[in-house]
Structure 1
Amino acid sequence: EEDFERAVEDGLRLSKRLVLPGGAAPPRPHAGMDRYGAPDAAAASSLLPVAPMAYAVVTDPAAVDSPDVPSYQPHVYGRLSPPALIPLQMREVELRVDCAAGCATAEVTLVARWWLHCLTRSRDCDCRLVVPMGEEGSILGAEVTVGKKSYNTHVVDVDGNSPVKIVKTESGGILKSQFFQLTIPQVVGGEDIFATIRWSQKLLYDNGQFSVDIPFRFPHYVNPLPKLFTKKEKIQLTVNSGVSKEVLLQGTSHPLKEKTRQGEKLFFLHEAVVENWSIKDFTFSYSVYSGDVSGGVLVQRSTLRDYDDRDIFSIFLLPGNNQKRKIFRKAVVFIVDTSGSMQGKPIENVKNAISTAVSELEEGDYFNIVTFNDELHSFSSCLEKVNGKTTENAINWMNLNFVAQGGTDIMHPLTEALALLSNSDGALPQIFLVTDGSVEDERNICRTVKTQLTNKGSISPRISTFGLGSYCNHYFLRMLASIGKGHYDAAFDTGSIEGRILQWFQKASSTIVADISIDVTKHTQEFEVDCEYIPDISAKYPLFVSGRFRGELPETLYAEGYLSDMSKISIELKVQHIKDIPLDKTIVY
Structure 2
Amino acid sequence: MYRSRRLFPALRNLLALGGLLLGLAAHAGTPGSGELRLHDRAGHAQSLASLDTDVDYRVSGLVAEVQVRQQFRNTGKDWLEGDYLLPLPTGAAVYAMALDIGERHIVAEIKRKEAAQKVFEQARANGQKAALIEADSGNLFRTAVTNVAPGETVTIVLHYWQRVDYRAGGFSLRFPLTFTPRYHMREGAQPGDAGIATAQVFADDDARAPLRTHIAVRLDAGVPLVAVSSPSHAIVSERHGKRWDVRLRDASVLPDRDFVLRWQPKPQTQPNVASFSQDIDGQHYAMLMLLPPQQQAQRLPRELILIIDTSGSMGGESIRQARAALDLALSQLQPGDRFNVAEFNSILNPWRSDAVAATPEALQQARAWVDQLQARGGTEMEPALRFALAGHAPPGYVRQVLFATDGAVDDPNGLMQLIDRQLGDSRLFPIGIGSAPNAGFLQAAARHGRGSETLITDLGTLTESMQGLLARLDHPALRDIKVDWPAGTDAYPRQLPDLYLGEPLLVTAKLPQSTAQVQVHGSLADRAWTAPVDLSSPTAAEGLDRLWAQSRIADLEDQLARGGELPALTEQITRTALAAHLVSRYTSLVAVDRTPSRSADAALRHEQIPNVMPAGTHFAQTATPAELELWLALLALLLAALGWWMQKRVCR
How has the CA–CA distance of structure 1 residues 537 and 157 changed in structure 2, closer, same or farther, with 3 Å as cutoff? farther
Q: What's the offset of the Cα at 1:187? A: 3.5
In 2, Cα distance between the equivalents of 1:392 and 1:510?
25
One-letter amino acid of the structure 1 residue matched with residue 400 of structure 2: Q
One-letter amino acid of the structure 1 residue matched with residue 391 of structure 2: A
Q: TM-score, normalised by structure 1?
A: 0.57
Q: What's the offset of the Cα at 1:582? A: 0.9
In 1, Cα distance between the equivalents of 2:455 and 2:215?
34
Match of 2:307 among 324, 336, 347: 336
In the alignment, structure 1 residue 186 sits paired with structure 2 residue 186: no
Match of 2:401 among 431, 441, 454: 431
In the alignment, structure 1 residue 379 sits paired with structure 2 residue 357: no
Match of 2:517 among 555, 563, 587: 555
Q: What's the offset of the Cα at 1:514? A: 1.5
**Gap runs ≥5 in structure 2:** 1-30, 126-130, 178-207, 553-652
Counting matched residue pairs gives 462
Match of 1:258 among 229, 240, 250: 240
In 1, Cα distance between the equivalents of 2:361 and 2:98?
60
Q: What's the offset of the Cα at 1:407? A: 9.1
Q: What's the offset of the Cα at 1:97? A: 1.6
One-letter amino acid of the structure 1 residue matched with residue 307 of structure 2: V
Match of 1:514 among 452, 468, 477: 477
How has the CA–CA distance of structure 1 residues 108 and 294 changed in structure 2, closer, same or farther, with 3 Å as cutoff? same
Match of 2:57 among 80, 85, 97: 97
**Deviations 1:303-338, CA, capped at 9 Å, x for gaps:** 47xxxx7x5443323479x7x756954513325378
How has the CA–CA distance of structure 1 residues 154 and 294 changed in structure 2, closer, same or farther, with 3 Å as cutoff? same
Residues 368, 379 of structure 1: 8 Å contact kept: yes
In 2, Cα distance between the equivalents of 1:394 and 1:377?
11
**Gap runs ≥5 in structure 1:** 11-58, 62-77, 224-232, 262-266, 454-459
In the alignment, structure 1 residue 546 sits paired with structure 2 residue 508: yes
One-letter amino acid of the structure 2 residue matched with residue 461 of structure 1: S
Task: Give SS of 1:524's match.
Answer: coil
In 2, Cα distance between the equivalents of 1:100 and 1:475?
23
How has the CA–CA distance of structure 1 residues 258 and 413 changed in structure 2, closer, same or farther, with 3 Å as cutoff? same
In 1, Cα distance between the equivalents of 2:157 and 2:351?
54
One-letter amino acid of the structure 2 residue matched with residue 98 of structure 1: R
Residues 430, 453 of structure 2: 8 Å contact kept: yes
Between 541-550 and 368-377, report the one with greater CA deviation: 368-377
**Deviations 1:456-502, CA, capped at 9 Å, x for gaps:** xxxx4323346899xx99999866643542125789xxx97998899
Between 197-206 and 391-400, report the one with greater CA deviation: 197-206
Residues 93, 161 of structure 2: 8 Å contact kept: yes
Structure 2 match to 1:287:
264
Residues 484, 520 of structure 2: 8 Å contact kept: no
Task: Give SS of 2:497's match.
Answer: coil
- What is the 5 A alignment of 1:106-505? 106-110=64-68, 125-126=79-80, 136=90, 138=92, 140=94, 141-147=96-102, 151=106, 155-158=110-113, 160=114, 165=119, 167=121, 182-188=143-149, 193-199=154-160, 203=164, 208-212=169-173, 237-241=218-222, 246-251=224-229, 253-258=235-240, 261=242, 267-268=243-244, 277=251, 285-290=262-267, 294-301=272-279, 303=281, 311-318=284-291, 325=296, 328-329=299-300, 331-334=302-305, 336=307, 350-361=322-333, 365-369=337-341, 377=350, 379=352, 381-385=354-358, 388-398=360-370, 408-409=382-383, 413-414=387-388, 416-418=390-392, 421-425=393-397, 428-433=398-403, 445=418, 448-449=421-422, 453=424, 460-465=425-430, 481-488=446-453, 503=465
How has the CA–CA distance of structure 1 residues 246 and 297 changed in structure 2, closer, same or farther, with 3 Å as cutoff? same
Q: What's the offset of the Cα at 1:277? A: 4.4
Residues 145, 193 of structure 1: 8 Å contact kept: yes
**Deviations 1:175-216, CA, capped at 9 Å, x for gaps:** 998776634333345655454332456656676332446689
How has the CA–CA distance of structure 1 residues 180 and 520 changed in structure 2, closer, same or farther, with 3 Å as cutoff? closer
- Alignment identity in percent? 13
Between 476-485 and 578-587, report the one with greater CA deviation: 476-485
Q: What's the offset of the Cα at 1:390? A: 3.8
**Deviations 1:242-270, CA, capped at 9 Å, x for gaps:** xxx544443583353426x5xxxxx4558
Residues 317, 543 of structure 1: 8 Å contact kept: yes
Q: TM-score, normalised by structure 2?
A: 0.52
Task: Give SS of 2:327's match.
Answer: helix
Task: Give SS of 1:356's match.
Answer: helix
How has the CA–CA distance of structure 1 residues 94 and 507 changed in structure 2, closer, same or farther, with 3 Å as cutoff? same
How has the CA–CA distance of structure 1 residues 461 and 100 changed in structure 2, closer, same or farther, with 3 Å as cutoff? farther
Q: Which has the higher contact order (CA 8 A, sep 6+)?
A: 2
How has the CA–CA distance of structure 1 residues 147 and 381 changed in structure 2, closer, same or farther, with 3 Å as cutoff? closer
Residues 560, 568 of structure 1: 8 Å contact kept: yes
Residues 236, 270 of structure 1: 8 Å contact kept: yes
